[in-house]
Homo-oligomer: A and B are copies of this chain.
Amino acid sequence: MGRTDVGGVSSDRPPVNNLQTRHLKILRACLGMRKLLLISSSRVHGSGFLEHCLVAIDEHLQPVERILFVPYALAEHDQYAELVATALHPIGVAIDSIHVAENPVTAVKQAQAIFIGGGNSFRLLKTLYELELIEPIREAVQSRGIPYMGSSAGTNMACPTIRTTNDMPIVEPPSFEALDLIPFQINPHFVDANPNSTHKGETREHRLAEYLEENQTPVAGLREGSWLKLEGDSCILGGKTGMKLFRRGTPPEEVAAGDVSYLLS
């Protein structure tokens, strides 16, 4: 396979066919087709940053070779962008980090794909509001149909609100309303209660039960090592760890990898 130079990063991918990319985008836009990859966590015990889902990322981003990275969930943007660039290098995807863009809104409008990385959801959402990026990102994903990828806090962003984040509210966003790209909530890093724990703080399951006391929207408790891949009306649970589904009025339900498109209806 020929190696292509992609923004200074060598790639094993075939050369970009711009016409093909544009065609795909137009097609998706016509169909109102969203294309999302929502990862529970970038790190999973025993493997490197994003390593456990790299094949899914590669498939998700095809044929895109440059993605716009959004590092606002962490305080250190340069370092974060470098980490992501290194992680995506093996699949021949180069990144442009939005924090160095002259105009972040323009960067979103011109992006072929977007990756919002993990960190603190409150800090991330506050920054998206401050830079007036909510609508442009929504438009890019829903109308232009460009691939969206999120991990952890970036996965929280794709939900109607950040009401199912695990993060500490270290800063105050103007609203908890997020990008609203999917009709259900996700709780990333979902973790089962440790039966041997002596800690009396709420378990994750208890917290999600509290959420359902106040809200109707179902929650996918996505374990580390799992992800959801949405394309149009299809939603597939990927990875090896499964998820737990929380719906008001019914006991939590264990869900194994496979088709979970019913979440979209």
Contact = CB atoms under 8 A, between A and B. Distances in A.
Interface of A: 41, 43-46, 75, 119-120, 123, 161-172, 175-176, 189, 191, 198-202, 207-208, 210-211, 213-215, 224
Contact of A200 (B41, B176, B202, B211): B41
A189 B201 contact: yes
Given A120-B210, A213-B75, A163 B171 contact: yes
Contacts of A213: 75, 170
Nearest to A168: B207
A57 to B, nearest CB: 17
B165 A200 contact: no
Given A45-B199, A163-B170, A168-B210, 20 more contacts: A46-B198, A75-B210, A75-B213, A123-B210, A161-B172, A162-B169, A163-B169, A163-B171, A165-B168, A167-B207, A168-B207, A168-B208, A168-B211, A169-B169, A170-B213, A171-B215, A172-B175, A189-B199, A191-B201, A201-B224
A170 B161 CA distance: 10
A75 B191 CA distance: 24
Contacts of A200: 41, 43-45, 189, 224
Contacts of A211: 168, 170
A210 B124 CA distance: 12
Contact of A224 (B169, B170, B199): B199
A215 to B, nearest CB: 7
Complex copy number for this chain: 2
11 contacts: A45-B198, A123-B214, A163-B172, A165-B168, A165-B169, A166-B168, A166-B201, A167-B207, A170-B214, A170-B215, A172-B175
Residue from A75, A165, A167, A214 with most neighbouring chain B CB atoms (10 Å): A214
Given A189-B200, A224-B199, A170 B45 contact: no
A71 to B, nearest CB: 14
A51 B63 CA distance: 62
A252 to B, nearest CB: 15
A167 B169 CA distance: 9
Nearest to A42: B200
Contacts of A44: 200
